[in-house]
Chain A
Amino acid sequence: MSDFWTLALGALALGGVYALIALGYTMVYGIAKMLNFAHGDIIMVGAYSAFVTFMLAGMPVWLCIVIAIIFCTLLGIGIEKAAYRPLRGSSPLAILITAIGVSYLMESIVYLAFSSAPKNVVLFPSLQGNPTATALITLGVATALMVALVLFINYTKIGKAMRAVSEDRGAAQLMGINVNFVIMVTFAIGSSLAAVAAVFWLMKTPLVTYTMGSLPGIKAFSAAVIGGIGSIPGAMIGGIIMGLIETFCDSIPGLQSYTMAVEFAILVIILLIRPSGLLGKTKREKV
């Protein structure tokens, strides 16, 4: 395969990983109406979980992935219950600050437990030096998960409840929907997707450090905003756009030092043209 197509495929795969993470941001925003800035660190915890089970305990790789997903899901539920639920109904600023605090808390705990020394976790050694296969697997699984998520939201009872809470929390509660349960499920889904993203992230960049979550976190958050925060198809499109821009800029020697700048410039331009993102709902305000 020519270099161009390998790169293009890699870009789509990277976009798929960003999309998986962006889904976590966008679902939590759509349903709980909060920005969960600790989401990026769930990826970091997922990667460390893989480090412990795979490298230290030497478990088979499928078991490590399952454990990472379960651990991150429980962590997401735990964080929601301990840190965000008590603040439900308080000012958005208080919740935002709490999210940032939770993020630092997770990073500090991991730092204390594992030190700041970087680690390499190569889950699939046979895929090393084979970017095409890595990209195809990433893209395939990411697409399947996103399709499954859309089906889940549209055709299951709990999915319907999620949409209802997102539309009008008060009315949903009056209709007998358990809002707390719905929000908990949202966090669980978002965190498990983040764990899957962590696995794919490691396939691409096997570097594990306690601050590794911030970069994918901020890029995926931008992806969610580009696509229109709160919109699930928007998160996917935003993720793919971020992946394409990043790989494109990284391939051109003169632009390599400005990759982040280009990404955020495009974010700003999109927001100027469509303030609520590509697929975001525009609210008409009547005067």
Chain B
Amino acid sequence: MKNTLKKLAASVLAFSSVALLAACGGKNYAANNKAIMIGNSGPLTGAYAIYGTGVKYAAQMAVDEINAKEGADGLQFQFTGKDDQGDGELAAQNFNTLYESGMQVSLGCVTSGACVSFAEGGAENEVFMLTPSATADAVYKAGVYQMCFSDSGQGKAAAKYIKEYYKDKKVGVLYNSTQDYSKGIYDNFVKELGKDNITAEASFTDDQTASFDGQVNTLKECDLVFLPIYYTPATTFIRAAQGKIADNAVFFGGDGLDGIDGVKGFDVNSFPQKISMLSHFNSASTDTATKTFVDAYNSKYDPDSLNQFAASAYDCVYAIYGMMKNYEAKGNKIEMNISAKDLNAILTEEIKTYTYSGVTGSNIKWASDKTVDKSPIEYEINPNRVHS
């Protein structure tokens, strides 16, 4: 009996010391001493797979390009992307797996909710995180730098953009009052644009997308409708608006509209109104950096998976690389087996003065609250629409 107890005690002790070691962050970074490991978690299966897949491909592409450019003696990277299906619990597990296997720097998560869970581990263990696509305000508050606009930043940016480029339009807004994403953008949009500059407002709730007849009626005088909503209800709204909202009106959305042109049976070009979204990336742009990226991506991967998330991920990898180069330019050397914590200290210092130009914008800077500062562009979703 006593013997068994002793054995039990010993095994508990052994087990806990192993756990303790792990918790202490005794990572074996030497195991990947040939390249710096970048980790990321995103939906590779399930409903949001289109977002995660693009991020994974584009990050891998950036890593391959940098490795080829640097050569074996320079900075080398390796990228590992794990599947979380957009789920927070899986994302937290993915953080642990990645961290245990030696992740030194991270692209955070692809989706907002998952990113907040992922960031808990990242903040605790001081891993540098720069997300390509998680927009929620909770994400930067959880300690993740953003390459995309935050939700509140997006509302402000949209209002500024409308003031500049659509100042003669009668502006209407349709938002989902029960969704944080939509309400967050809406609040900041109204604050920036001013209540007086908005002709009409309409709202709906998550469980009530039966028909948008009433909302369309409220907004029928407007010739620009700002749609900070997801693309699924947007398809219903745009259909209901036909014949009621002017043919030369503009439906202007946030990044939630990304994917609306992929809905089966919803041909964006069959509508006379311009459908566009505030974005930081336009795959049809003739800008050299964008064109090089798009051509390279399309020749390697499925062109359907190319979207602003992918472009943003590509920029994230290059921004991390750029900051490390800046650090080395000051006469320092970054070893491949640097710990996540040390690399975090370097990058957090570098990002304060760092300016990056890539495919999702030029002169990109980061504020002290970890949000990005860059100028948005309007991405036209239906350039080949019917003109009445």
The interface of chain A, by Cβ under 8 A from chain B, is 3, 7, 10, 14, 51, 55, 115-122, 128-131, 204-207, 209, 215-216, 219, 246-253, 256-257, 259-260
Contact = CB atoms under 8 A, between A and B. Distances in A.
Contacts of A257: 177-178, 203-205
Contacts of B218: 251, 253, 256
Given A122-B239, A129-B242, 13 more contacts: A7-B214, A117-B47, A118-B232, A119-B265, A120-B263, A120-B264, A120-B265, A204-B211, A207-B236, A249-B214, A256-B204, A257-B203, A259-B205
B209 interface: yes
Q: List 5 tightest A-B contacts by C-beta distance, closest first.
A: A250-B214, A129-B243, A120-B265, A129-B242, A251-B214
Contacts of B202: 253, 256
Given A118-B232, A120-B235, A205 B265 contact: no
A206 B379 CA distance: 26
Interface size class of B (residues with CB under 8 A): 35 or more
B245 to A, nearest CB: 10
B341 to A, nearest CB: 39
Contacts of B239: 120, 122, 128, 206
A215 B264 contact: no
Task: Provide the main secondary structure of the chain A interface.
Answer: helix
B348 interface: no
Contacts of A117: 47, 262-264
Given A206-B265, A209-B232, A3 B220 contact: yes
Nearest to B233: A207
Interface in B243-258: 243-244
A256 B214 contact: yes
A259 B236 CA distance: 18
Given A206-B265, A209-B232, A256-B204, A215 B217 contact: no
Contacts of B204: 250, 256-257, 259
B266 interface: yes
A253 B200 contact: yes
10 contacts: A131-B240, A205-B209, A205-B211, A207-B232, A215-B209, A247-B211, A250-B212, A256-B203, A257-B205, A259-B208
Contact of A215 (B208, B244, B265): B208
